Amino acid sequence: MKSLLTFKQQKGLSLIEVLLALTVSAMVIVMSTRYFWTANQAANITQATSQIQRITNASYQWLDANRQSDFADITLTALVSANLISANDQTNPWGGTITASVGQSDPTHVRITLASVPQTQCQALVRALATTAYTEISTCTADNTTYWGEF
- Note whether 74 and 61 are within 8 A (CB): no
| pLDDT per residue rounded down to tens, the chain (151 residues) | 555 555 566 677 788 888 888 999 989 998 888 888 888 899 999 999 999 999 999 999 999 999 988 999 999 999 999 999 999 999 999 999 999 999 988 999 999 999 999 988 999 999 999 887 678 888 998 777 899 999 9
pLDDT in tens, 75-96: 999 999 999 999 999 999 999 9
Domains of the chain and any CATH numbers: 2-150 (3.30.1690)
pLDDT of residue 5: 53
Q: What is the SS3 assignment for 103-141?
A: CCCCCCCEEEEECCCCHHHHHHHHHHHCCCCCCCEEEEC
Other beta carbons within 10 Å of 85: 22
Q: What is the pLDDT of residue 146?
A: 92
Give the whole-angstrom CA distance, residue 36 versus residue 54.
Answer: 27
- For position 110, what pLDDT does the model report? 94
pTM: 0.77
Q: Supply the DSSP symbol for 75.
A: -
* pLDDT of 39: 86
